[in-house]
Structure 1
């Protein structure tokens, strides 16, 4: 996945108060779309240090924390063992390079991950493949922001274009909304976050 090297370097200082706050807002938005998921398995895709997934552990039977950065995964392992959490596992893996046919989930959620992924269609297709039938993919990311110029990340997404791409892949029952606006939360710029819920 994009920018793995950068995340390897900042893993042990990643959990700032701003990131913790955004993760809380994001996990609350995801929670609204879950219904009763107590017997369901989830993947926190591009989990970083697990800030979003840790907030949602009580909502699922289990969560697999998946990231391309081994240092980020190590941070989560410490959290899991330190809190004696029983329903979490970790996996260091890059979906942009390979697919995993033996992995399956009822829910996949990704918060501010898509903007780091170069080939969005490829990754969303591979995630579609590992979703169980009627499983949900939930995406939290930034609305497009023309003020941001970067060769490291996408400058956000237009919800309609992203939804069109997801329909092309096979996702259905898609709904989206903007749920948060914050000051200087996207590369020093004011920005807003959207959530998309979709189903296989």
Structure 2
């Protein structure tokens, strides 16, 4: 994934109070849309140090923490070990490089991940293939923000445009809403976040 090198360098200091708070906001928004998923499998895609997925462990039968950064995966593996978590696994893998034909899940969630992915449609297509029939992809990210100018990330997303891309891929029952506004939360700019839920 793009920016993997950057995440490799900051993995051991990643869990700042601000990021922990943002993860809580994100995981609460995901939980609100879940319903009963206690028999379901999930993937925390682009999991980083697992801040979002760890908040949602009790909601699923199993969670796979997946990231392209070995150092991030090391951090989440340490947490799984320290907390003696039984229903979590990890995988260091880059969907932009190759497909993983045997991987399947009922839910995939990604929080502030899509903005780091250059070819959004390609990765969303790969994730569509991983979902079980009827499965859900849940995306938490920033609304389009003209004040953000960066070579490293997208400056957020237009929800309707993103839904159009996903419809082309084959997702349906797509719903999204803006659920959070914060000060200086996106590249030092005030910004809003949305959650999108789409089904296979």
Q: Does 1:45 align with 2:54?
A: no
Classify the secondary structure of the residue corresponding to 1:144. coil
Query: 1:133 is matched with which residue?
Result: 133
What is the number of equivalent residue pairs in this alignment?
200
Classify the secondary structure of the residue corresponding to 2:33. coil
Gaps of 5+ in 2: none
Taking the aligned partners of 1:189 and 1:101, their CA distance within structure 2 comes to 39
Taking the aligned partners of 1:92 and 1:100, their CA distance within structure 2 comes to 12
Query: 1:153 is matched with which residue?
Result: 153
Taking the aligned partners of 1:117 and 1:106, their CA distance within structure 2 comes to 22
Taking the aligned partners of 1:97 and 1:32, their CA distance within structure 2 comes to 33
Q: CA deviation at 1:33?
A: 1.2
CA deviation vs aligned residue, 1:151-183 (integer Å, no higher than 9, x gap): 100000000000000000000001000000000
- Normalization by structure 1: what TM-score? 1.00
Q: How does 1:1-200 map to 2 (within 5 A)?
A: 1-200=1-200
Q: CA deviation at 1:30?
A: 0.2
Q: CA deviation at 1:32?
A: 1.0
Classify the secondary structure of the residue corresponding to 1:33. helix
CA deviation vs aligned residue, 1:3-48 (integer Å, no higher than 9, x gap): 0000000000000000000000000000011111000000000000
CA deviation vs aligned residue, 1:54-93 (integer Å, no higher than 9, x gap): 0000000000000000000000000000000000000000
Q: CA RMSD in A?
A: 0.3
Q: CA deviation at 1:130?
A: 0.6
Taking the aligned partners of 1:141 and 1:2, their CA distance within structure 2 comes to 16
Taking the aligned partners of 1:148 and 1:111, their CA distance within structure 2 comes to 18
- Normalization by structure 2: what TM-score? 1.00
Gaps of 5+ in 1: none
